[in-house]
Chain A
Amino acid sequence: MTPELNSFPRLAPGCRLNEKNQQPRTLLMPERALRLNGPSLEIVERCDGQHTVQQIIVEVQKIYSKAEPHKVEQDILGYLALLQKERALDFVL
């Protein structure tokens, strides 16, 4: 499933980032944990129900301005879809 660009991704209940002072940054979820770094952390930090998918794409493209924008967009969409499939993310319209 491809996420809608105008939807607001939000971490699912019981899924959260560990605290800023805890390294490495990790997405904690029931019975599992996902280490995050670089782009994956930039994306997950913005899955707060306040950013649309489109806004996340624009902001992350700015951070990785040397990368090809279309490729960044595709990677973000793929990553968000994966998190949703893993039940770590909800898309709120």
Chain B
Amino acid sequence: MASIIPNPLALIAELTHRCPLHCVYCSNPLELQARTNELTTEVWSRVFKEAAEAGVLQADFTGGEPLARPDIVDLVRAARSAGLYVNLITSGLPLDETRLAALAEAGLDHIQLSFQSAREETANEISGTKSHAHKLRVLDWLRHHHLAVTLNFVIHRRNIDQLEEMLALAESSCATRIEFANVQYYGWAFANRENLLPTREQLDRSVEFLKREQERLQGKIRIEFVVPDYYAKYPKPCMGGWGRKLMLITPTGDALPCHAAQVIPGLSFENVKDRSLREIWEQSAAFQKFRGEAWMQQPCKTCDRREQDFGGCRCQALLLAEDAAATDPVCSLAPLRPKVDAILAAVNLAPVSVGAGLAAPAADPLTRPVWLYRPNPA
């Protein structure tokens, strides 16, 4: 089938898996790569040029913790001079004022600072390290630079009742954007799912609150909200469709159509050390596999929404339906939706105290969960 393949728009550069944080919902794969296998500065610089030539507009530097790379300033400069908009997704931990100034000077456009909570105790529990106080210092230094600042909160059962405090933190800072991204259940988050999924009551309250605040803060702070798709009626258009918009490069140079693609058996990934980015995007078997509609099963195959959500997420289909080509089981039309409903029923039956209100600082009577923390690779 000769169809025109659209250009990739964003390159997600997973520069390293090393990270000082141990977040219980980390989107990295369970098998983490060691430093010795990471791509060199030179290879990354070539990849940025090839990406810009292939039509990519934005580079998202992520990890692990991208600042764990000693060459991070050079990488920012290389991506910027290749013509890309450079976004750094960071915990802010290995950062001081000098290094921040060097990043800004190298052409960094946007910094996304992750917070685990607005409360130090919750934040440190979730990240498995004492990180919160330093993040607040970084947020203060950012005032002195002409960068876009986004605060990124990953939302789950343990912090979804603190949105008001999180928003207050953003309002007192120079951030122009705040992301409330509910945990998506892959990798480490899948392993910790029972302790992370919010209740329906918590979710409904948060949606209502954020709609109100979006209106109040219009033109001041953009509020982005990602709901947990287990509660959605239709699946998310994962990655904007397989091989349609985004390309992820792992620390070792494998090109993936999405973060979790390595869980899908039978897919083999090509490496940027061996082929150009455009060749991989257009020709590699992994990018072809779920591109377009030919792979779809019923009910997706004839569904009116198939060009909106592209059948949902392939990795979620694998995790929940044990078939990567199945309709994403979170879809209300999916044959396996009852499986998701059963997971939600278990979460919603459990007696959870959610406090008296969104800002309620009441002690959380939940028994302290047993977390599976993500380790730091060598």
Contacts and interface: CB of A to CB of B under 8 A. Distances in A.
To the question of whether A and B form a pair in one complex, the answer is: yes
Contacts of B174: 13
Given A13-B176, A87-B221, A33 B148 contact: no
Given A18-B83, A87-B221, A33 B147 contact: no
B57 A26 contact: yes
Contacts of A84: 219
Contact of A19 (B9, B83, B87, B224): B83
Nearest 8 pairs between A and B by C-beta? A14-B148, A28-B85, A14-B110, A30-B148, A30-B110, A87-B222, A33-B57, A13-B146
- Of A19, A26, A29, the most chain B CB neighbours within 10 A belong to A29
B176 A12 contact: yes
Interface string A59-92: 0000000000000000000000000111100000
Interface residues of A, number: 19
Interface string A8-46: 000011111011001000101111010000000000000
Given A14-B109, A16-B109, 5 more contacts: A14-B147, A18-B57, A30-B148, A30-B177, A33-B58
B219 A30 contact: no
Interface of B: 9, 57-58, 83, 85, 87, 109-110, 145-150, 174, 176-177, 218-222, 224
Contact of A29 (B146, B148, B220): B148
A26 to B, nearest CB: 6
B57 A12 contact: no
A69 to B, nearest CB: 27
A1 interface: yes
Contacts of A12: 148, 176
Contacts of A87: 176-177, 219-222
9 contacts: A13-B145, A13-B176, A19-B83, A30-B109, A30-B110, A30-B150, A30-B176, A31-B87, A31-B224
A15 B149 CA distance: 11
A13 B147 contact: yes
A12 B148 CA distance: 8
A13 B148 CA distance: 5
Contacts of B221: 87
Contacts of B9: 33
B314 to A, nearest CB: 23
Nearest to A26: B57
- Of B83, B149, B219, the most chain A CB neighbours within 10 A belong to B219
Contacts of B58: 28, 31, 33
B346 to A, nearest CB: 34
A22 B18 CA distance: 35
A35 to B, nearest CB: 10
A5 B145 CA distance: 28
